[in-house]
Amino acid sequence: MLQILLLTIENDDDKLIFEEIYHKYKKASMRRALKLLNNNKYDAEDAFQKAWLQISQYLNRLESHDDSVIATYIMKTIEFKAIDVANENNEYRGKLEPAEINPQEYISDDLMYQVCNRERHEMIVKVIHSMNEKYKDIMIMAYLQGFDVKSIAEQLNINEKTVWTRLYRGKNILVEELKKRGIYHE
Amino acid sequence: MNEIKTGKEKLQKALLEVSKEYLENIELAPEDSVSFSPKLEKNMEQLLQSRQKPCWKLINSPLKKVIAVCLAVVILIGSVLGCVMAKEPIFEFFTEVYEKFTEFFFEDENEGASDVITEVHTLTYVPEGYELVESPTLTGDNNELYTVWENNDGEKIIFYQSAFVTKTTIDSENAQKGILSNGLQIVMIQKDKVIYIYWNDNQYAYTLIVQDMNEKQIIEILDSFA
């Protein structure tokens, strides 16, 4: 099947930013890919190329242009693609089906913000740190980088339902842990 | 509302701090282990170049075979869009929104589809101010053909005819489909100010790409398809 994506017309600023960012992070991102893929140069180049192709498509959707946000996005994209490359021949990934969301798990964004608002910064950081990587990554992509569920699913090569599941669970962990450990209900 | 806004800011601040700590602790391979193969460098250079040129200009580049395909997003709309005559303004039909990616197929047997272009189709009308800058030009193995018009503002109209493909997928987010007065069933996708319109006649697939153009003009162009 021929599968072609529409090219997106972007303004000159977007193009300049991408080129600048590529040159800025080119070496570091390759070092990260090599590290994650046990210095297998072939796999690292594969992951590197896939990551930057994806970055070129999604970079202009980043909500924040903070250097740390951009750097995290790039390095995480390298990680995701390195994992993809490492798992390429592994059928297990495709067979994973997300569990159904328990309605009780549903936490609205507003409730999460309200809880965060009443909590100390250090405690919020601590709880996020304690999360499983897969929830933490989704929380960062959704609430810091500003990607919607569809974009996250495309970039992580997982289905949208899985993204929703991880998002719900990430929010649930954050709110429940803040309630347990923090001052919200004190 | 303030509580939600400040809560959101606090969450973002915390996530930013977590991101910074992640970056500070990230493990990298030694600097001297890094090298880039010529093939990778070439691929990345192409990626950078593709972002340096607007799509409209790429059609004239040496990469036109590839880019023409990418640009035009060849579509085949057979079973999805069978022929039904109707006389309605285009906007009344642009109501069906596809959720994500949509596949377009020729009909099962696909007996009418051509491997090469033997019959050239064209548009007999383009709005005033546009001049033909690329006469119908065959690319590839005589299975793709494009024509380009341009106005003084550099805005282009690209008409693309394609043979050979039996099935393809397009990024049809926000795509809308409609039927024109001449019976053409089309799918329209708008990306910023660029409008992509696709249809087929079960022999060839067609793409019209216009920039910053109103519905009336688009209808007139499509009505002139011959």
DSSP string, A76-142: HHHHHHHHHHHTTT-THHHH--PPPPPGGG---HHHHHHHHHTS-HHHHHHHHHHS-HHHHHHHHHH
Answer yes or no: do B167 and A2 touch at CB < 8 A.
yes
Q: Which residue of B has its CA nearest to A178?
A: B11
For residue A75, name the pLDDT band (cuts at 50, 70, 90). Answer: very high
Is 60 exceeded by the pLDDT of residue B214?
A: yes
**Chain B residues closer than 8 Å to A117 by CB:** 3-4, 6-7, 10
- Per-residue 3-state assignment (H helix, E strand, C coil) for B89-108: CHHHHCCCCCCCEEEEECCC
Strands A2-3 and B167-171: parallel
Q: How many CB atoms lie within 10 A of CB B93?
A: 17
B98 Cβ neighbours under 8 A, 6+ residues apart: B172, B173, B174, B175
**Chain A residues closer than 8 Å to B52 by CB:** 15, 19
B11 at A interface, C-beta within 8 A: yes
| Minimum mean pLDDT range among A24-38, A140-154, B201-215 | B201-215
Tokens for B38, please give them.
């010529």
Q: How many CB atoms lie within 10 A of CB B100?
A: 14
For residue B20, name the pLDDT band (cuts at 50, 70, 90). Answer: very high
Give the model confidence (pLDDT) of A76-131 as tens digits: 999 999 888 887 745 434 433 444 555 555 788 888 999 999 889 999 999 999 99
HSE toward the beta carbon, residue B42, CA cutoff 13 A:
3
Pure H helices in B62-200: 64-72, 90-93
pLDDT above 70 covers what percent of chain A? 80
The helix (run of H) or strand (run of E) holding residue B224 is none
State whether residue B225 is helix, strand or coil. Answer: strand
Give the model confidence (pLDDT) of B98-137 as tens digits: 333 444 444 434 455 567 788 888 888 899 889 888 888 7
Per-residue pLDDT, A5: 28
The helix (run of H) or strand (run of E) holding residue B30 is none
**Chain A residues closer than 8 Å to B169 by CB:** 1-4
Higher pLDDT, B90 or B3: B3
Answer yes or no: do B51 and A6 touch at CB < 8 A.
no
Using CA atoms, how far apart are residues A125 and A112, in angstroms rounded to an integer? 14
B8 at A interface, C-beta within 8 A: yes
| A33 closest CA partner among A105, A98, A85, A69 | A85
State whether residue A182 is helix, strand or coil. Answer: coil
117-176 in chain B: CB under 8 A from chain A? 165, 167-171
Per-residue pLDDT, B196: 82
Per-residue pLDDT, B61: 40
Per-residue pLDDT, B111: 53
Q: Which residues of B173-206 are buried (b: 16+ CB within 10 A; e: fewer)?
A: eebbbbbbeeebbbbbbebeebbbbbbbbbbbbb
For residue B215, name the pLDDT band (cuts at 50, 70, 90). Answer: confident
Q: Which residues of B107-143 are buried (b: 16+ CB within 10 A; e: fewer)?
A: eeeeeebeeebeeebebeebbeebeeebeeeebbeeb
Quote the pTM value: 0.53
Answer yes or no: do A116 and B10 touch at CB < 8 A.
yes
Using CA atoms, how far apart are residues A94 and A96, in angstroms rounded to an integer? 6
Is 60 exceeded by the pLDDT of residue A178?
A: yes
> How close A101 comes to chain B (CA, Å)?
22
**Chain A residues closer than 8 Å to B29 by CB:** 30-32, 34-35, 39
Per-residue pLDDT, A15: 55
Per-residue pLDDT, B174: 63
DSSP A63: S
For residue A24, name the pLDDT band (cuts at 50, 70, 90). Answer: very high
Report the pLDDT averaged over residues B192-215.
Answer: 81
Using CA atoms, how far apart are residues B192 and B16, in angstroms rounded to an integer? 31
Report the pLDDT averaged over residues B176-185.
Answer: 68
Give the model confidence (pLDDT) of B73-107 as tens digits: 433 333 233 333 333 333 222 223 333 344 444 44
Using CA atoms, how far apart are residues A71 and A36, in angstroms rounded to an integer? 17
Answer yes or no: do B10 and A69 touch at CB < 8 A.
no
Per-residue pLDDT, B23: 92
- Residue that is written with structure tokens 């021929």 in the block: A2
ipTM exceeding 0.90, yes/no: no
Q: Which residue of B has its CA nearest to A171?
A: B11
